[in-house]
Amino acid sequence: MKYFFEASHSTHILGDIVIERLIGYNKNFGHVLNQSNVNQFLNKDKQNMIKYIKNNPNVIDWINENV
């Protein structure tokens, strides 16, 4: 995988992208969250999750059977 070794450890490639974003070089990665927009992003993530569940029932079934 390009950005992650596994689910909780990222590669140096992603680390470099995050650092560039934090210091202002990369404006094309991530979003600035604050009190006025955090609910908008949470709602969008929830909508995306519901859509994924609806469109991928086989994946959800596999998770429910194996986790």
Please check whether residues 52 and 25 belong to one and the same domain: no
Over the chain (67 residues), what is each successive 10-residue block's mean pLDDT? Answer: 90 94 87 93 96 95 94
Tally of domains within the chain = 2
pLDDT for position 30:
85
Please check whether residues 25 and 38 belong to one and the same domain: no
pLDDT for position 44:
95
pLDDT for position 27:
85
Domain that holds residue 63: 32-67
pLDDT for position 51:
97
Cα separation, 50 vs 60, in Å, equals 11
- Please identify which residue in the block is written with the tokens 């650092």: 19
Please check whether residues 23 and 40 belong to one and the same domain: no
Please check whether residues 15 and 42 belong to one and the same domain: no
* Backbone angle region of 24, left / alpha / beta, with phi > 0 → left and psi within -120 to 50 → alpha: left
pLDDT for position 28:
87
Please check whether residues 23 and 8 belong to one and the same domain: yes
